[in-house]
Structure 1
Amino acid sequence: MEKKKLLIIIGAGILVIATIGLYSLNGISNTQPATPATKNTTTITDMMGRNLVIPSPIKGVLATAPPTSIAVYILAPDKLMGVNIAPSAINGSVYMPEKYQELPNVGGWTMMTPNGNFESFIEMKPDIVFDAEWGVGNFSDQLVDRQEKFGSIPVVGVLNAYTINNFDPCIQFMGRVLGEDGQAASLEEFYHRMLSNVTTRVETIPENERVRVYYASGPDGLQTALKGSQHAELIEFAGGENVADFEIAPGAAFTQVSMEQVTTWNPDLIIVDDPGFYKTIYNDTLWLSINAVKNHRVYLVPQSPYKWFDGPPGLNQIIGIPWTAKVFYPDKFSDMDMPALTREFYSKFYHYNLTDNEVKTLLNP
């Protein structure tokens, strides 16, 4: 009888110990907290064919260059954590919602923004970093190097971020990654409307009737982007002839030219990107002999929040497609309603509703 009681006690003890062990294995011991759930992720293939595991959904993004950071702002403004260049102002006003004007300027890695800092990017803890191909060097090697420096933050390779005649792949890909397919489709509709409106008209202009254009960049107007450069792409796209047609070193964005060279070219029309230079050109005796100045065909590029013509190249240039075409050929595009297109573009792309005075300021600086 005593032996039977002893066996019952031992069996009960074993059962208690096993039960405690079972609870511990299932993670609900009073002394050991439950393991937190892991972050949701998804696998994507970037535009260079690299498979990447990224957080899902994406909440915060940085980019290494202006074209991609501007694209993020256009597609999903609340997901952009910082910019590479500060937005431009006109008469002290920036034509974008104030909360986005206050985004920190984190710099980047281009000729325009050679001041990026990997530690600063990492400290902001973005879900991903978009890295754009610029046509300089080996982009695959660049991605490997950037990924190594950014560590566990996925670096997503983007192509076509500055190619005016082929923005579709960039818009579609970045829209999909950011979960903004609807916004991407709206942007593409506007983009294709501008493309078809301009290209179908300018392609019929004979070569000998095309306006000869000089792109005057910088505070003295004596820097320019050459024919074939991504920075002057709109000239040829809108049916003009870039007078700066000579070779420079591969990858160079701009070249310095002399006043004698500009005088020899004697362009019909001048596009200016610097407001200070624009204010002086009609009073500068060095420029007064040039046909474009004599005939009052000098045009300042609309500036805010990002330039329509260049600086930087990117989706901000889409409104520059109709603007440039109408500047070149006002008679051929007399039916183009630039105030209406400007309002539509700023609403869809910059999330900002322009006033009548702001439209006038943009179009008539």
Structure 2
Amino acid sequence: MNLRKIIVCILMLMVLSIPVSVWAEANQTQTITDMAGRTVTIPAHIEGVLGTSPPTTMLIYMIAPDKLLGWNSNNTGFLPAKYLNLPAVGGWFGGKEGNYESFLAMHPDIILEGYNQQGDMKSTVDARQDKFGSLPVVGVENSVDALSYEKPIKFMGDLLGESAQADKMITFYNSVLDQVQSKVSAIPESKKVTVYQAAGNDGLTTEVKGSPHSQLIDIAGGINVVDEPLTDAFGEIKVSMEQVMTWNPDVIIVEDANLYKKMFTDPSWSQIKAVKDKRVYLTPKTPFSWYDHPPGVNRIIGIPWTAKMLYPDEFKDLDLNQLIKDFHLIFLHFDITDDQIKSALNPVAS
């Protein structure tokens, strides 16, 4: 036997000695049913993932940060540097159109397409699959219902092989929800505070009662003064300053720092009870909003925050700072400091 044949035989023996499991793993797939009811074949071992919109992407990060390949937009602060500096690949959200080539260039194993319960969910996800070709697209319900986050968290944990992490998140979520709901249920209707949610440059854009964007008011036991019909899936409407004066809310919730500051200097806003009593609250953001935009799992920490803002006496024993620390460790994989908590809770002063 010449040298060439000997080498060939050795190479063949080396190949045959590789465990079958290694070969199988390289080509192994699994078939799942996604949350839109579609049957999808995906890799058995998922290492890299992208989401098409912020609520989905946030949930990927919270469940499996090392599998997230990129954000939909840039973030600032309150995340470990190696995750904060992931590239921004865009997406399909807020009227924006993503770029399919940008997503494909990141070589993800799967794409996660978030959807809500409005419209034909399956057709929406199928349309995205057509554009991505052979790259699997998995539909994940981005529940805009803050009372229903458990289901998408569990699905994502199972999908990405991080069930233990999902269980930690669900335990925290159920705990804060139970704490708030049990206390709120004991508040008499006559003692409940009235709340106005202000948005837009002039503060006259708001959300009607029943809108997912104002849901934390209801969960925290407040009465949304904008008791108008919910005419679409989300409930944003414009109102007049005269109408706000008529409502004269006890509390105002604001997401924009400039609007927050304006309310204390504007002659019209200064007449409102909430402004006079200094019960205007600017929602924290670390780096995702605690209150809304988007109305995803980022709002879980906003449930106790909103309750404590509306009812400081009833929730005086609720250790908000500890909940903030726990939330950031469990959900954001970030060890937030006391100074950072103070900054988050007082964003204008910061």
Question: 2:44 corresponds to which residue?
Answer: 56
Q: CA deviation at 1:50?
A: 1.7
Please tell me whether Structure 1 or Structure 2 has the larger radius of gyration of its CA atoms: 1
Matches of 1:97 and 1:254, distance apart in 2: 34
Residue 283 of structure 1 aligns to a residue whose secondary structure is coil
Q: Render the CA deviation track for 1:240-259: whole Å, top value 9, x for unaligned.
A: 11112213542345223222
Q: Find 2:69's aligned residue among 72, 81, 87.
A: 81
Matches of 2:242 and 2:169, distance apart in 1: 43
Question: 2:82 corresponds to which residue?
Answer: 99
Q: Using a 3 Å threshold, how does the CA distance of structure 1 residues 305 and 149 change in structure 2: closer, same or farther?
A: same
Q: Using a 3 Å threshold, how does the CA distance of structure 1 residues 282 and 335 change in structure 2: closer, same or farther?
A: same
**1:216 touches 1:223 (CA, 8 Å); kept in 2?**
yes
Q: Render the CA deviation track for 1:81-108: whole Å, top value 9, x for unaligned.
A: 1222333x4xxxx111112221222222
Letter in 1 for 2:143: A
Q: CA deviation at 1:222?
A: 2.0
Q: CA deviation at 1:59?
A: 0.8
Q: Find 1:116's aligned residue among 98, 118, 124.
A: 98
Q: Using a 3 Å threshold, how does the CA distance of structure 1 residues 252 and 188 change in structure 2: closer, same or farther?
A: closer
Q: Render the CA deviation track for 1:42-68: whole Å, top value 9, x for unaligned.
A: 221111222211112111111122111
Q: Render the CA deviation track for 1:236-279: whole Å, top value 9, x for unaligned.
A: 01111111221354234522322222222211100110112112
Question: 1:17 corresponds to which residue?
Answer: none
Letter in 2 for 1:357: D
Question: 2:35 corresponds to which residue?
Answer: 47
Task: Indicate the percent of aligned positions where both proteins have the same amino acid.
Answer: 47
**1:223 touches 1:256 (CA, 8 Å); kept in 2?**
yes
Matches of 2:73 and 2:197, distance apart in 1: 22
1:358 paired to 2:340: yes
Q: Find 1:185's aligned residue among 160, 167, 170.
A: 167
Matches of 1:182 and 1:279, distance apart in 2: 43
Question: 2:17 corresponds to which residue?
Answer: none
Matches of 1:253 and 1:130, distance apart in 2: 26
1:142-291 aligned at under 5 Å gives the runs 142-247=124-229, 249-252=231-234, 254-291=236-273
**1:67 touches 1:161 (CA, 8 Å); kept in 2?**
no
Matches of 1:219 and 1:178, distance apart in 2: 41
Matches of 2:220 and 2:231, distance apart in 1: 26
Residue 166 of structure 1 aligns to a residue whose secondary structure is coil
Residue 131 of structure 1 aligns to a residue whose secondary structure is strand
Residue 264 of structure 2 aligns to a residue whose secondary structure is helix
Q: Find 2:319's aligned residue among 329, 337, 343.
A: 337
Matches of 2:246 and 2:120, distance apart in 1: 37
**2:209 touches 2:230 (CA, 8 Å); kept in 1?**
no
Q: CA deviation at 1:364?
A: 2.6
Question: 1:72 corresponds to which residue?
Answer: 60
**1:217 touches 1:273 (CA, 8 Å); kept in 2?**
yes
Matches of 2:224 and 2:73, distance apart in 1: 27
Residue 315 of structure 2 aligns to a residue whose secondary structure is coil
Q: CA deviation at 1:123?
A: 2.2
Letter in 1 for 2:83: Y
Letter in 1 for 2:63: L
Which runs of 5 or more structure 1 residues have no equivalent in the other structure? 1-19, 29-35
Q: Using a 3 Å threshold, how does the CA distance of structure 1 residues 113 and 77 change in structure 2: closer, same or farther?
A: farther
TM-score w.r.t. the length of structure 2 is: 0.88
Letter in 1 for 2:227: D
Question: 1:13 corresponds to which residue?
Answer: none
1:6-21 aligned at under 5 Å gives the runs none
Matches of 1:285 and 1:130, distance apart in 2: 48
Q: Using a 3 Å threshold, how does the CA distance of structure 1 residues 45 and 105 change in structure 2: closer, same or farther?
A: same
Q: Render the CA deviation track for 1:157-188: whole Å, top value 9, x for unaligned.
A: 11253321111111110001011011001111
Letter in 2 for 1:114: K
Matches of 2:235 and 2:34, distance apart in 1: 26
**2:211 touches 2:233 (CA, 8 Å); kept in 1?**
no
Q: CA deviation at 1:350?
A: 0.6
Letter in 2 for 1:185: D
Matches of 1:179 and 1:160, distance apart in 2: 19
